[in-house]
Amino acid sequence: MKYKDNSWDFRNSDTKELTHCFHAYPAMMIPQIARRLLKKYGSSAKTLFDPYCGSGTSLVEANVKNINAIGTDLNPLARLIAKTKTTPIDIQTLDLYLKDFSDYSFNLLFNIQKSDSIVIPHFSNIDFWFNASAKKYLSLIKIYVDNIKQLKIRNFFLTAFSETVRESSLTKKGEFKLIRIPEQKREKFKPDSFGIMLSKLSRNKEGLLDFMKSKNNGSNSNIYDFNTVNFVPKDIIPDESVDIVLTSPPYGDSRTTVAYGQYSRLANQWMGIKDASNIDKSLMGGVRYTNNYFINSEHLQETLDKIDKEDSKRRAEVESFFIDYKNSIDNVSKTLRKKGIVCYVVGNRTVKNINIPMDIITQDFFNNNGFNHLETIIRNIPNKRMPSQNSPSNIPGKKSSTMKNEFIVVCEKN
């Protein structure tokens, strides 16, 4: 059954409730979708798995419903955000650090000349993306955060620091890819990094309080970095141990679809993550396959043949993504118990003006693993943070409209 339901649009809903306010992230699943799917399909669930957890929307919503959650993601920034959003903190202790950081920043702002010898980190293109004052202020903030001994508190500060890095940089706001602002704007750009950081911390504290009040149970989330394309560790998730998988997977490789790694690069670099500029290559479709693979989906094969007539290179790129996607679904399928539910929120992208029916291909892949298709709900995308246009060819000025709908594919394991 496949149908359109405008009630899933959630046009006027607050998508920044609870800890969902902590950090922007590309193509985030809005909490209302996860919440409604859990109510409909996860009322008796004890364990949720999100194999591409991103910033942790499904994990937060699972914990609120007293469901233990497991997430994995290859992006260090995503894991940090997801971990922080699902971790309760003693508020009295947090308040002490917030007051101390406020005093620290106030004193530095009035004695900034004493910090001229501050060591600024070195990474590729730091001078291209940050002016001198931003580099100094961010370095001073990072020194404070690094000296926080309690991991929960340090992660809370690091999450706010990540957004502060982004807003203190010379990047175009509202873009996921790294695009530098024009020269005339760069000359006038003087970010108040301390003020930004304090604002993020205050906002996030309120979200944390709301989350802890709503959660009020013993559930927890565990976040990992294993790649489901390759395997799912049985010591972490034994076969047939998961009740529900609720996720929004990538819709294509990061280079031409949603630039997860590029969006995260500056924050990851400031946090000292190695190979921060190569994250996109490690994600689905990041490496091109050269061998011939058999993928049991007529719908995918028909689509690949159409793309091949237009551009054989693009066909190879799309095929490489779906090889990874199929392998991931094969591994994820093993984790579901009998009668377990999978909910995949996907989008049907366009390549060379050819629509890729990812919802049907997803259904095919799960059918091949012994699942029955229950329903596919079509919703409009009024709230999902995605650009209205993108540049899939990476040719300057050549843009295409991005997807207007999402498809919620629900299947049950036989």
Q: Which domain holds residue 61?
A: 2-86+220-413
Question: Are residue 100 and residue 72 in the same domain, yes or no?
Answer: no
Question: Are residue 309 and residue 207 in the same domain, yes or no?
Answer: no
Question: Are residue 295 and residue 190 in the same domain, yes or no?
Answer: no
Interior/surface letters 60-87, b for 16+ CB within 10 angstroms, e for the rest: bbbbbbebbbbbbbbbbbbbbbbbbbbb
Question: Are residue 280 and residue 253 in the same domain, yes or no?
Answer: yes
Of 283, 231, 216, the closest CA to residue 54 belongs to: 283
Task: Read off the pLDDT of residues 6-51 as tens digits, 9 standing for 90 and up.
Answer: 999 999 999 999 999 999 999 899 999 999 999 999 999 999 999 9
Question: Are residue 76 and residue 121 in the same domain, yes or no?
Answer: no
Is the distance from CB of 246 to CB of 34 less than 8 angstroms? yes
Beta bridge partners of 408: 345, 377
Last residue of a domain, one of 213, 233, 249: 213
Dig out the tokens for 352 from the structure: 């060379």
Of 186, 155, 181, 177, the closest CA to residue 277 belongs to: 177
Dig out the tokens for 35 from the structure: 């919440």
The whole-chain average pLDDT of the chain stands at 91
Q: Is the pLDDT of residue 412 over 60?
A: yes
Dig out the tokens for 105 from the structure: 């920043």
Question: Are residue 345 and residue 233 in the same domain, yes or no?
Answer: yes
Question: Are residue 267 and residue 343 in the same domain, yes or no?
Answer: yes
Q: State how many domains the chain has.
A: 2
Last residue of a domain, one of 186, 213, 240: 213
- For helices 298-310 and 312-335, what crossing angle results, to 10°? 160
Cβ within 8 Å of residue 119, ≥6 positions away:
139
Q: In 32-117, where do the E strands start and end?
A: 47-50, 68-72
Question: Are residue 394 and residue 354 in the same domain, yes or no?
Answer: yes
Task: Read off the pLDDT of residues 189-240 as tens digits, 9 standing for 90 and up.
Answer: 999 999 999 999 999 999 999 999 999 899 999 999 999 999 999 999 999 9
Dig out the tokens for 113 from the structure: 């000349």
Higher pLDDT, 59 or 257: 59
- Residues of the chain above pLDDT 90, percent: 79
Question: Are residue 126 and residue 197 in the same domain, yes or no?
Answer: yes
Distance CA 405, CA 368 (A): 25
Phi, psi of 238 (to 5 degrees): -65, 155
Provide the pLDDT for residue 280. Answer: 81
Provide the pLDDT for residue 388. Answer: 47
Distance CA 308, CA 302 (A): 10
Rounded average pLDDT over 387-413: 68
Question: Are residue 260 and residue 402 in the same domain, yes or no?
Answer: yes
Q: In 225-278, where do the E strands start and end?
A: 242-247
Rounded average pLDDT over 111-124: 74
Alpha carbon of 50 to those of 42, 68, 71, 109, 414: distances in Å?
14, 11, 5, 43, 20
Distance CA 17, CA 388 (A): 24
Question: Which burial class, exposed, middle or buried, applies to 28 when counting CB atoms under 10 A from its CB (0-12, 13-18, 19+)?
Answer: buried
Last residue of a domain, one of 179, 213, 247: 213
Rounded average pLDDT over 247-271: 88
pTM: 0.93
Question: Are residue 272 and residue 196 in the same domain, yes or no?
Answer: no
Distance CA 97, CA 88 (A): 15
- Quick one: CA torsion of 334, 340, 343, 348, rounded to 10 degrees? 50
Is the distance from CB of 19 to CB of 63 less than 8 angstroms? no
Is the distance from CB of 246 to CB of 38 less than 8 angstroms? yes
Question: Are residue 173 and residue 237 in the same domain, yes or no?
Answer: no
Cβ within 8 Å of residue 324, ≥6 positions away:
229, 284, 285
CATH number at residue 313: 3.40.50.150
Is the distance from CB of 73 to CB of 223 less than 8 angstroms? yes
Sequence-ordered alpha helix ranges (H) in 111-215: 126-129, 132-146, 151-168, 183-188, 193-215
- Residue type at position 267: A
3-class DSSP assignment, residue 344: strand
